[in-house]
């Protein structure tokens, strides 16, 4: 699959075409000149430098510009055609779609897609595609080209009408425009076929490469595995690799690794799959039981333990389908088992079993698009399902697209997290959205608490087996501190003033301890409609430890249109304007207010470098 491309714009007149392209490629990003700042995701000043950087980063490029401009800008970067990203030039009116570079690395495919969206035709110029209707070095999904070094000579011979003999089953080759021969004909003598015929071999076996021969491995093998809990990853990997080698099977013909669903969180299985570069799919005991009559080595012991008589053989047969068959019966190591089945053609893993579910708990920052981390954006774009408080989902509406979204109201935190975990337990890739940082007064700790829970509130077994990831974000206190200057320049702490989950006595003790230790303090959840006195009491405590001119910062709705940042001192601070969407930062006894020549006031807490310099002098 081609990575979501960057659409490059130079003029406002390109916007209509850019939006049309983006409608068909919803995850693409618009990059434009500063004059297009209101319309684009990323702004650049130097087109030539920007397009070169994107090219060197292997980013697919769709430039709404003349082919000549693009070629001249990239000329100095053109070194190795086998390593080029797709580069397309599109006319401003969208009538011309020209793949310039990376034709066999996704550019032609991308051009066809864009041309379909724009209602025009792509100007495909690569010889093999225009002559034969295919690219020999870009086989379709489910096939692997084992010897790409032979493509040039084979394609050249085929273009010169040398006969091609296909050994194996592959409709995409036999139904192409290649000069295929299956037996001598009036066009070619026996001698010509013997000496000139090109061979294309489709096989799951390891094959020897030679001139005039192309080898494609169809991804038709399913490897079923089973193992004891916490089996060593190396043991399972060695068993699988040795099995392939012993039976002369190419690892490039392996479509997937599979097992029973109770093993979906087994590290050894996932590590082995990573080593092979293949996905993992899991089947329920019920589905594996449907394969019991096809097993070569059913086991009563396995039946008693997991509810099916065969895990390794059963799972690979389930993946290979009713027309598949075992080609390697169950083999054992000390703590693992392995079996291999072959399907009639490439296996579509997307339709089989269930992957291990994934829940990513994503911090999206305080709200400003530029404050999202690259990892957070990539995680949200990759997720199939997004769960979150409805207000937070409104902040990422540009990333949601047509994804499955489940909004929750304020106050439904446990319901929200439990829903996300159970959804991931169905084998889905789920993102649970938090504002700020997901691990700071947010959803990450609750997710781990639920996974750790036993008793009537515990999760389903499948939800407890999901892969968990916490994606950090810029916290509200970091954003507020940056807006105000550098108040966290020395030791600091954060304290939530909400007593819904923590007794007020404990909160008050923490405030006193932080005040005595002279920490800069960021107060979260400072004041609500029903809780109006806690912040007032906190400030009274701090006033007993800090000078009256200690700076106090209030920050609300950071990164949004109605952002507000105010500066006070302990002496003149008032609580009336504070709500739950406000963060309050109180400086330490060392914090200061500095005024720069432009009249702006900044808060900072000295790190102590002057003292250090004095000590060294």
Does 382 lie in the same domain as 342?
A: no
Tell me, yes or no, whether 131 lies in a domain.
Answer: no
Q: Which residues form the domain of 157?
A: 143-217
CA dist 90 and 97 (Å) reads 5
Clarify whether residues 278 and 387 are in a common domain: no
Residue 511 lies in a domain: yes
Spatial separation of the C-alpha atoms in residues 582 and 141, rounded to whole Å: 52
The Cα–Cα gap between 290 and 229 comes to 24
Strand ranges of the sheet holding 404-408, from the earlier edge strand across to the other edge: 404-408, 385-389, 429-434, 358-363, 467-471
Q: 353: phi > 0 → left, psi -120 to 50 → alpha, else beta; which?
A: left
Burial 280-289, CB ≥16 within 10 A → b, else e = bbbbbbebbb
Lookup: tokens for 277: 């570069």
Contact between 258 and 283 under an 8 Å Cβ cutoff? The reply is yes
pLDDT of 19: 93
Q: Are residues 374 and 400 in the same domain?
A: yes
The predicted structure's pLDDT at residue 610: 65
Q: Are residues 234 and 326 in the same domain?
A: yes
Q: How far is CA 549 from CA 159, 521, 564, 569, in A?
A: 84, 16, 21, 5
Predicted TM-score (pTM) of this structure? 0.77
Q: Is residue 134 part of a domain?
A: no
pLDDT of residue 187: 46
| CATH code at position 329 | 3.30.420.180
- Number of domains observed in the structure of the chain: 5
Q: Are strands 582-586 and 551-556 parallel, antiparallel or unpaired?
A: antiparallel
Q: How far apart are CA 609 and CA 615, in angstroms?
A: 10
**Residue 562 covered by a domain:** yes
> Do 110 and 162 lie in a common domain?
no
- For residue 419, the SS3 value is helix
- What CATH number has the domain bearing residue 528? 3.30.950.10
470 and 365 co-located in one domain: yes
Contact 261, 362 (CB under 8 A): no
Residues in the chain with pLDDT < 50? 1-2, 184-194, 616-617
Taking each helix axis as running N to C, give the angle between helix 15-24 and helix 107-118, from 0 to 180 degrees, rounded to the nearest 10: 110
Q: Are residues 56 and 156 in the same domain?
A: no
Q: Going by DSSP bridges, is the β-strand pair 358-363/467-471 parallel, antiparallel, or unpaired?
A: parallel
Which of 162, 194, 217 terminates a domain? The answer is 217
Query: What pLDDT does residue 176 have?
Result: 82
In a domain, 368, yes or no: yes
- Helix ranges (H only) for 247-363 are 267-276, 285-289, 300-306, 312-320
Q: What is the pLDDT of residue 558?
A: 85
Main-chain phi, psi angles of 341, to 5 degrees:
-120, 150
Picking from 474, 503, 526, the residue at the C-terminal end of a domain is 474
Q: What is the pLDDT of residue 614?
A: 52
523, 577: one domain = yes
C-alpha 617/C-alpha 613 separation (Å) is 6
Has residue 614 been placed in a domain? no
Residue 137 counted as domain residue = no
């Amino acid at each position: 699959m081609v990575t979501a491309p960057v659409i490059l714009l130079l003029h406002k007149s390109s916007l209509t075409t850019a939006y049309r392209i983006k409608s068909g490629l919803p995850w693409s990003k618009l990059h434009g000149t500063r004059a297009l700042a209101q319309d684009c995701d990323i702004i650049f000043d130097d087109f030539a430098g920007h397009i070169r950087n994107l090219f060197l980063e292997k980013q697919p490029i769709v430039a709404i510009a003349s082919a000549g401009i693009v070629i001249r800008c990239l000329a100095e970067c053109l070194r190795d055609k086998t390593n080029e990203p797709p580069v397309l030039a599109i006319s401003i009116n969208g009538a011309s779609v020209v793949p310039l570079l990376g034709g066999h690395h996704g550019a032609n495919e991308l051009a066809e897609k864009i041309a379909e969206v724009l209602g025009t035709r792509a100007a495909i110029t690569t010889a093999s595609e225009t002559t034969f209707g295919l690219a020999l070095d870009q086989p379709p999904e489910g096939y692997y080209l084992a010897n790409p070094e032979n493509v040039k000579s084979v394609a050249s011979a085929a273009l010169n009408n040398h006969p091609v003999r296909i050994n194996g089953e592959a409709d995409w080759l036999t139904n192409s425009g290649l000069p295929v021969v299956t037996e001598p004909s009036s066009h070619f003598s026996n001698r010509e076929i013997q000496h000139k015929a090109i061979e294309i071999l489709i096989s799951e076996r390891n094959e020897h490469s030679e001139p005039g021969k192309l080898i494609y491995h169809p991804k038709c093998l399913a490897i079923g595995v089973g193992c004891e809990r916490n089996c060593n990853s190396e043991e399972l990997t060695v068993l699988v690799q040795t099995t392939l080698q012993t039976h002369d099977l190419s690892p490039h013909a392996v479509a997937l690794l599979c097992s029973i669903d109770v093993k979906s969180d087994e590290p050894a299985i996932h590590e082995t799959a990573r080593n092979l570069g293949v996905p993992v799919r899991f089947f329920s005991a019920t589905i594996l039981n449907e394969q019991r009559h096809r097993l070569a080595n059913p086991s009563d012991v396995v039946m008693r333990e997991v509810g099916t008589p065969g895990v390794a053989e059963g799972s690979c047969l389930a993946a290979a389908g009713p027309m598949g068959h075992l080609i390697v019966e169950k083999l054992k190591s000390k703590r693992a088992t392995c079996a291999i089945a072959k399907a009639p053609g490439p296996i579509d893993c997307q339709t089989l079993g269930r992957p291990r579910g994934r829940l990513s708990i994503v911090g999206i920052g305080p709200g400003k698009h530029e404050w999202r981390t690259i990892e957070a954006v990539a995680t949200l774009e990759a997720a199939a399902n997004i769960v979150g408080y409805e207000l937070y989902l409104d902040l990422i509406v540009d990333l949601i697209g047509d994804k499955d979204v489940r909004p929750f109201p304020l106050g439904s935190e446990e319901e929200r997290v439990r829903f996300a975990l159970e959804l991931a337990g169905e084998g889905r890739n789920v993102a649970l959205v938090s504002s700020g940082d997901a691990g700071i007064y947010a959803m990450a700790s609750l997710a781990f608490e639920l996974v750790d829970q036993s008793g009537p509130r515990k999760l389903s077994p499948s939800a407890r087996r999901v892969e968990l990831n916490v994606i950090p974000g810029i916290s509200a206190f970091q954003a507020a501190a940056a807006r105000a200057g550098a108040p966290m320049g020395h030791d600091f702490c954060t304290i939530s003033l909400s007593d819904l989950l923590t007794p007020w006595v404990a909160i008050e003790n923490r405030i006193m301890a932080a005040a005595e230790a002279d920490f800069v303090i960021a107060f979260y959840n400072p004041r609500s409609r029903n809780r109006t006195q806690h912040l007032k009491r906190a400030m009274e405590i701090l006033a007993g430890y800090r000078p009256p001119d200690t700076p106090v910062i209030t920050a609300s709705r950071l990164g949004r249109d109605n952002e507000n940042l105010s500066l006070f001192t302990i002496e003149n601070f008032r609580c009336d304007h504070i709500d739950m969407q406000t963060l309050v930062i109180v400086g330490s006894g060392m914090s200061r207010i500095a005024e720069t020549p432009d009249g702006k006031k900044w808060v900072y807490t000295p790190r102590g470098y002057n003292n250090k310099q004095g000590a060294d002098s």
